[in-house]
Amino acid sequence: MTNFTKLIFLFLVVYLNCTNANSFDKISSYQNAKHPPFYSETFPLDSWGRTPLLAEARAFFKYADGNNGLLANEHGYQTHNHTLQQAKSGIVNFYVMNNSEWVKADVKINYKAETCIHARKIVSADFNNDNVIDFAFMCQGYDAMPFPGEKMKILLSKSSNEYDFQVLHDDVDFYHGGASEDFNGDGFPDLLVGTMNSPKLYINLGDGKFKYDRTLSQIKRAFSIELIDVNSDGKFDVISGAHEWETPTTIYFNNGKNEFANFGGLTIPPVSGAGNVLDFILSKNDNCLYVMRTGGEKGNRAIWYRGVFIQKICGKNSEVIYENKDWVDPTRKSYKFTSMRWMIESEGALISDWGGFLKIPLK
């Protein structure tokens, strides 16, 4: 091999590694979650090796070498089996796809804080500006009275296969949802996080450390949040939802300065019996907004978190394009999971992000 050939080979190796390392959006968690480079129809087994992993908080991504990756958080408790005092912290694992099977990845985690009691969502972006994907954990705490809340946590990369797990901010709250975008124009992903009450904005200092900035008080409650450019003006908007019998599902439009609190909103029509709002996606196929819901209405515990409903909003038109009140996850026989948490867009369809058991073609 000549010196010139060696130089070309070295250039290609560096180029491909940089390309793979940057195969994600450094700022927008929405892009990383809703338009990932792949989706999976298979599951790793849980930590006990008994059943397909049930991980409410998870993130798909690409490792620097191009392999498919998965970060998952398993709960260490169940509210019907454990009191607040008995609730254990969750289990965090990295996985890699190897010969069409998920196996635990050789990724080192330096634990500088306990894992979440209840991680509800993982938000992915480059929080410490090193071109390696990082992961912020929206931690809500024990999911029953007295709902004590807990601190958010974050996995910050030290390299492509080593992370520090640490507290994101010392505030304690019921962090149920969140999304990242650059709110102050410094090129770093900031976090808007949903709570029992109004969502809070935390500004990234550039190294993965955050400071509280303000509360968006116009939004009364936000369990589910995404930051999406709904009206195609080049600015991200806020979409928030929770329990519709308590607060409406609303789009808050960006005024051009990343301000929303006093700049109007568009209420999404409610769906009877499906008032628990879980997820949002703006389709690249038809530019319509899709809202994933499950059962919920005031005073009716019988339908609580039962069923899957997909609502389509195009302009002023709203319709439910999929409804299954008796839906049960067919992949996990040992635990009757009666609602879906997340959806993505792939192959011209809306797909449940884990497993191909729900696929709705977009016309």
The mean pLDDT of 325-344, rounded to a whole number, is: 81
pLDDT higher than threshold 50 for residue 17: no
Contact of 208 with 127, CB cutoff 8 Å: yes
Would residue 206 count as lying in a domain? no
pLDDT at res. 20: 44
What is the DSSP pairing of strand 276-282 with strand 289-294? antiparallel
Shared-domain flag, residues 279 and 142:
no
Supply φ then ψ for residue 257, to 5 degrees: -120, 20
Most confident of 11-15, 142-146, 166-170: 166-170
- Which of 339, 315, 319 has the alpha carbon at shortest distance from 329? 339
pLDDT at res. 356: 61
Any residues with CB less than 8 A from the CB of 233 and at least 6 apart, and which? 254, 256
Q: Which domain holds residue 62?
A: 1-186
**Paired tokens of 21:** 């390392």
In the chain, the number of structural domains is 2
CA contacts within 13 A on the Cβ side of 199: 29
Query: Lowest mean pLDDT: which of 23-37, 44-58, 339-353?
Result: 44-58
Q: Mean pLDDT over all residues of the chain?
A: 89
Would residue 29 count as lying in a domain? yes
Shared-domain flag, residues 158 and 32:
yes
Q: What percent of the chain stands above pLDDT 90?
A: 71
Q: What's this model's pTM, rounded to 2 decimal places?
A: 0.91
Number of CB atoms found within 10 A of residue 208's CB? 22
**Coil/strand/helix, residue 30:** helix
Shared-domain flag, residues 224 and 326:
yes
Would residue 344 count as lying in a domain? yes
pLDDT higher than threshold 70 for residue 18: no
pLDDT tens profile 259-313: 986 656 899 999 999 999 999 999 999 999 999 999 999 999 999 999 999 999 9
Shared-domain flag, residues 319 and 182:
no
- Cα–Cα–Cα angle for 36, 37, 40, rounded to 5 degrees: 80
For residue 15, name the pLDDT band (cuts at 50, 70, 90): very low
